[in-house]
Amino acid sequence: ATLSPVELLTLPDWEDTGLAVGLLLWIVAMGGSWATFLLYKGSSSFAWSQWASWLALMVFLLVVDHRDASTWSSVAAVIGLLLALADQMLKLAYIDELTGLPQRRALVSQLQHLRRRSAVCMLDVDYFKKFNDRYGHEVGDQVLRLLGSILREHRGFKAYRYGGEEFTLVFSHSDPDKLKSTLESVRSKVANYPLKLREPSRPDSKRKGKDARGKKDAAKTVKITISLGATLKEPGDTPDSILKRADENLYSAKKSGRNRVVLK
């Protein structure tokens, strides 16, 4: 408590300049390390807003004796904090926590601004209720997280979680061949993905856990399938009408055997 931060963060040779060079070097080192970590992790805008707010506050401390510079630094810090808060609130309102995909509220907003050449697809997991009853809701959540990950990584559409095990894909084109190819790619990737079921409980000791990991059949592997129903935007379509038509095509896909794509 008796140490003076000014003495610690100011280099003796530079004291006459009025600039805390020690503090400047510390800001550069810490800010650079933090930014490198954020880049490596592919962090969200919320994390970057926190970094920007911290950097602005550090600059404020650095130039606190200069009124104009310190004022702009404090304004930048406040803006960064407000952006971080806004980003967090938007995620709570529009992003599904389980899958990481935008949820139904965001979908409704998107459908109201569809282009003339667009397409919509409804998909869900085949026999999801039976799967849940057999393996439990934790495994069911694991399936939904997997599907959310596959849909996020796949290009060519914007994916939304419609509700439960249902998802909606929105395309910004109406090319039937390209659309069918993309949907078949998604269907195939899900159907061929070996899902390893997590153990319901951890072993009592490290030795038992090591022995379990050494067994090839320690984790059971299952496969899931999805059915997809897609439709092209037609003149006069409303969000409700295009969703209803896509949902009818999804029902047709399930009725005709599941694990398939129906585009009408």
CA distances from 261 to 108, 161, 183, 219, 248 (A): 23, 18, 7, 31, 12
Per the CB < 8 A criterion, the answer to whether 101 and 163 are in contact is no
Tokens of 182: 């993309």
Active-site residue, from 153, 165, 199, 248: 165
Distance, in Å, from the CA atom of 143 to the CA atom of 151, rounded to the nearest integer, reads 12
Residues contacting residue 29 through CB under 8 Å, at least 6 positions apart: none
In contact, 240 and 246? CB cutoff 8 Å: no
Q: How many angstroms separate the CA atoms of 31 and 61, rounded? A: 14
- In this structure, are residues 74 and 64 in contact, taking their beta carbons and an 8 Å threshold? no
165 noted as active-site residue: yes
CA 45 to chain centre: 11
Catalytically active residues, by annotation: 165
